[in-house]
Structure 1
């Protein structure tokens, strides 16, 4: 146990990661040594930032908490705090079931944790973070919460209503990040499509990214987690015209069958979905679309599923993820629908969609062989320099494995020629 050391463990999504980075900065400003996601936590204080979105994530969070409860019983740590989405969602239950935790904090109450440690919250550092990502990219969280009412989703229960941050605040944070060497912003939110409506009474995503692109040092801006209903179409024009905005859109569609879209309360139709996707590809030639789908939502028939398979085959998404439906407490689906699709069938359908996507992804990758792409190098690993193009987000998308006889510097952009392709990765050499 190392005195004055705090170990922060982050579970779940990049939005949680931003909260952890803000917390870490506060600890460091008060003289603590902080380690993030260490394989061997040795701090006297452990902070676990939990995820509470779906079943598997909740299980991982509970298991992590219990592991550190055991470590505390063995005298390996002095204090154990839990924050984040699971803590927000099950605050009372967790306090009763796991009393060995010193204190639980809701997702938005982590500042109270600072006070609990007997140290002062530094308001002057509210836009300052200690990055846990490589220094050349960072996540920029532009809002919290969600005003949608999708049947399956617990996010509004956890995060509450949508709250946009001001453009001024976000530009200030981006400028601070750029001065530290950040060149790439991953713009994230529960619902990017809604950004600005609460503050400015209209959608403001396009004006926001236009202002962010003016920040010196920022070269790439990538957009994550848009919503199809009411999508802000002016964003496509900005993407087509602004060289700093990556031709990449992460937009969760979930399904294509009209009966399923209705049951899911998505407020969008099959016809509208197709029209939006065609418009995206027409307005932004070369755009790479990332989406997620749900297999096995209550009421999903074989016909609905085959419709979804045909949709994936036809649209040939560049990036795709699939989740088996999780029957989450307090959601609309939990209250109104029976979880009537067999768990094994859910998984079979998810696997079938991903098997189909494997071939689509390989075809997309093989089409890039011979092309010259701009990439940013993230790291050196297993004899390759590992980079990403504008079409690749960290952690979730394909990587470009670069062979080079000369040293390449992480955080630097290079032009590379694609020499080979697998289902989810590309091989390249530096283009002279």
Structure 2
């Protein structure tokens, strides 16, 4: 029945998606028929889980809200609720400017949302989720918030200080996910490096990952969003010695020049950054490092960009993304600096870095030719199966394309694949 059906629109990052999945379990436990981003849904109740991180994300969230406001006016839906980061940060303004929404909720107000639907929040289900990703992998969020004071970032304003989840809660959730068929855990947090310091008075990331690796039938664990200061070196030994812990690390560095690292309030300098990278690569031979760079931050000069280009060329990160700076209100940068670099110039700087990275990626891919790699199949599309190695994370990294004629492969299964060809980013192979 469409009256008892709820369709949730989940916007933004993977951390937001975990929140959506937790809410879906609560609704499911209360006898609702709940879907996530179902096309042509006949659901009469829509919940939008918004993102409010950067300008483009906020614009997408507002556009999505307005889209469903029109659906409500047309009588296609009865109820429209909004939650998430945008609602957490701008609830009063949104209520005034878009009053057609039935109710706005903060990012973590599960109980309020469930109660609004005349149901009760079920505490026993706090570590249970409805997985919306392909069933063989899931994101595992181990903390909320952030204690850092980076100049450009609004995350601490939206989500507050860093709060680590207890190890036992995380392991319980992971075991439930694996029971449901998950074979790969993508461990996520705004700041992995700080995990445990607030709760246990010392870093506990290595201990947590070791406990997760003991879960039977779990194949891969990947780590996302480490911070370079207070880096948890204990995880490197696990990566090197524990076959379940992938030799993959997402560590956002943002820049290389001392001038920019200072203006960005990153708490690290160029020399220490290079020492960290070299230590990681020495401790974990063959590791794949993914990082992001931010260009166009106020105060960035041509000299800074040249420094960054040299740094990217020298470090040869296997995976790298670049984002242009956007002024976020109430951040240190918005309050203390002038955003005087034109958007066109920001985009130019981004493209310059990405052209360098394109060549680095191609060079790295060519070295894979002839190798035999373990690959998990994510989907079949057209004439190819699309899979990933332990060195690639879902959606953000390159894929391995295997011709469908190579055999009847199963989504979620692992295969040994010989790499036969490559492009700038993707690899091609055949099952051995």
TM-score (norm 2): 0.99
Contact 2:406 2:430 in 1 (8 A): no
Task: State the alpha-carbon separation in 2 of the partners of residues 203 and 142 from structure 1.
Answer: 13
2:67 match = 67
Task: State the alpha-carbon separation in 2 of the partners of residues 184 and 380 from structure 1.
Answer: 19
CA offset at residue 110 of structure 1? 2.8
CA offset at residue 150 of structure 1? 0.2
Task: State the alpha-carbon separation in 2 of the partners of residues 267 and 109 from structure 1.
Answer: 33
CA offset at residue 406 of structure 1? 2.1
Task: State the alpha-carbon separation in 1 of the partners of residues 53 and 223 from structure 2.
Answer: 21
Contact 1:83 1:110 in 2 (8 A): no
Contact 1:145 1:162 in 2 (8 A): yes
1:407 match = 408
Contact 2:249 2:290 in 1 (8 A): yes
Task: State the alpha-carbon separation in 2 of the partners of residues 368 and 63 from structure 1.
Answer: 43
2:5 match = 5
Task: State the alpha-carbon separation in 2 of the partners of residues 343 and 402 from structure 1.
Answer: 39
1-10 or 328-337, larger mean C-alpha shift: 1-10
Alignment of 1:40-119 (within 5 A): 40-119=40-119
2:113 counterpart SS class: helix
2:271 match = 271
1:335 match = 335
CA offset at residue 415 of structure 1? 0.4
2:406 counterpart SS class: coil
2:273 counterpart SS class: helix
2:384 match = 384
1:193 match = 193
1:416 match = 417
2:138 counterpart SS class: strand
Q: Which structure 1 residue ranges, 4+ long, deviate > 6 Å from structure 2?
A: none
2:36 match = 36
TM-score (norm 1): 0.99
2:363 match = 363
State the Cα deviation string for residues 206-245 of structure 1 (Å, max 9, x = none).
0100000001111100000000011011111111111110
2:147 counterpart SS class: coil
Q: Does 1:297 align with 2:297?
A: yes
CA offset at residue 29 of structure 1? 1.5
Contact 2:406 2:431 in 1 (8 A): no
CA offset at residue 366 of structure 1? 1.4
1:159 match = 159
CA offset at residue 367 of structure 1? 1.1
2:129 match = 129
2:4 counterpart SS class: strand
2:325 match = 325
402-411 or 388-397, larger mean C-alpha shift: 402-411
Task: State the alpha-carbon separation in 2 of the partners of residues 165 and 405 from structure 1.
Answer: 44
344-353 or 140-149, larger mean C-alpha shift: 344-353
Contact 1:50 1:86 in 2 (8 A): yes
Contact 2:110 2:121 in 1 (8 A): no
2:106 counterpart SS class: coil
Q: Name the count of aligned residue pairs.
A: 431
359-368 or 55-64, larger mean C-alpha shift: 359-368
Alignment of 1:224-239 (within 5 A): 224-239=224-239
Contact 1:143 1:164 in 2 (8 A): yes
2:364 counterpart SS class: helix
Contact 1:69 1:101 in 2 (8 A): yes
Pairwise CA RMSD: 0.9
2:248 match = 248
Contact 1:55 1:326 in 2 (8 A): yes
Task: State the alpha-carbon separation in 2 of the partners of residues 245 and 178 from structure 1.
Answer: 15
1:3 counterpart SS class: helix
CA offset at residue 360 of structure 1? 1.1
Alignment of 1:215-226 (within 5 A): 215-226=215-226
Task: State the alpha-carbon separation in 1 of the partners of residues 229 and 41 from structure 2.
Answer: 44
Task: State the alpha-carbon separation in 2 of the partners of residues 343 and 397 from structure 1.
Answer: 26
Task: State the alpha-carbon separation in 1 of the partners of residues 408 and 221 from structure 2.
Answer: 26
State the Cα deviation string for residues 57-79 of structure 1 (Å, max 9, x = none).
00000000000001100000000
Unaligned runs of 5+ residues in structure 1 are none
2:52 counterpart SS class: coil
